[in-house]
Amino acid sequence: MKSDPNQEVSLNLETLPAHVAIIMDGNGRWAQKRLMTRVNGHEKGSQTVRSIVTLCRKLGIGTLTLYAFSTENWARPKYEVKALMMLLKKFIVSERPVLLKNDIRLNIIGQKHRLPMDVQEEVDTTLKLTQNNNKMLLNLALSYGSREEITTAMQTIARKVASKEIDPGDITEALISDHLYTRTIPDPDLIIRTSGEYRLSNFMLWQAAYSEIYISQTLWPDFSESEFIEILKNFQERDRRFGKVACST
Ligand code: FPP
């Protein structure tokens, strides 16, 4: 039977990625195009964050990771770093009731200790309040850098070897994974980067070994729920072989 080329493919809720990670890029360019400040771009980007978190919860995606601030972002102009920290704090506080109502647990990956004290306090409050929620995990990457994550893990493992807690032969892929910020979280099935840049930018370099990658041309503030759904459909059409062959003939 011929399939109707005009018939829309629908999203299969049974085969959604368990973990979607997003590199939210393009806030600055979005603002620049409108003769606005970069901070205005980040503000608009925060609104997109809200809508995508809610959509993921509605769809039943188990884990959503958002790359909100990288270790390299500290080198941005002071006023921009300050504004981003303020926006993060605002988000963490204002979304608290939403996370609670929707049974969403917050988790942070990255150097939480480098965040301003007032941001850390609000983050800690939300972490504590949402710790028993289990319908979805919202994983925010804050002061996160994959190389820093791997370096810190290596230092911890080396100390364990030096103190004879473990043997060099005990160092397996699973042991390394267990020393990363993501130790309790499955690897991302799908990594989306917005704004048309084809890079991972120090994001989940270990965890991305078999992630499907989707580059969207849309700037993050314009990223819509309907585009996210189209990307999920695209993911569902992909043939994930994990280095193996499709079938044994
Ligand atoms: C990249 O755009 C984006 C960031 C460095 C920050 C992402 C932050 C947000 C979306 C808002 C706050 C986050 C939350 C979780 C509420 P860019 O500034 O590098 O854009 P450009 O490449 O166009 O300059």
What's the pLDDT tens digit per position in 209-228? 999 999 999 999 999 999 99
Closest CA to 221 of 95, 72, 56, 50: 50
Identify the pLDDT of residue 6.
58
Site to probe by mutation for ligand 1, drawn from 25, 48, 64, 107 as the one with most ligand atoms within 8 Å of Cβ, is: 25
**What mean pLDDT comes out for the span 196-207?**
98
**What mean pLDDT comes out for the span 37-64?**
98
Identify the pLDDT of residue 86.
98
Q: What CA–CA distance (Å, rounded) separates 3 from 47? A: 39
- Both structure tokens of 93: 């506080």
171: pLDDT strictly greater than 90: yes
Burial 88-121 (b: 16+ CB within 10 A, else e): bbebbeebbeebeebebbbbbbbbbeebeeebbe
5: pLDDT strictly greater than 80: no
Q: How far is CA 135 from CA 91, 158, 217, in A?
A: 20, 36, 30
166: pLDDT strictly greater than 60: yes
DSSP 28-90: HHHHHHTT--HHHHHHHHHHHHHHHHHHHHHHT-SEEEEEEEEGGGGGS-HHHHHHHHHHHHH
Q: Which atom of ligand 1 lies closest to the CA of 41? A: 18
Distance 158 CA to ligand 1 centre (A): 35
Identify the pLDDT of residue 242.
84
- Block residue for tokens 């939403």: 98
Distance 234 CA to ligand 1 centre (A): 25
Beta bridge partners of 106: 138
**What mean pLDDT comes out for the span 73-96?**
97
Identify the pLDDT of residue 7.
65
Query: Binning pLDDT at 50, 70 and 90, where does residue 24 land?
Result: very high
Distance 173 CA to ligand 1 centre (A): 32
Residues classed as catalytic: 25, 73
Beta bridge partners of 193: 23, 215
Its sign, for the CA torsion 69, 85, 97, 47, is negative
Identify the pLDDT of residue 249.
52
The whole-model pTM stands at 0.94
Ligand 1 pocket list (CB less than 6 A): 24-29, 38, 42, 45-46, 49, 66, 68, 73, 84, 87-88, 91, 140, 195, 220
231: pLDDT strictly greater than 70: yes
Identify the pLDDT of residue 97.
97
Q: What CA–CA distance (Å, rounded) separates 169 from 164? A: 12
Query: What pLDDT digit, counting tens, does each position of 98-148 carry?
Result: 999 999 999 999 999 999 999 999 999 999 999 999 999 999 999 999 999
Site to probe by mutation for ligand 1, drawn from 22, 23, 24 as the one with most ligand atoms within 8 Å of Cβ, is: 24
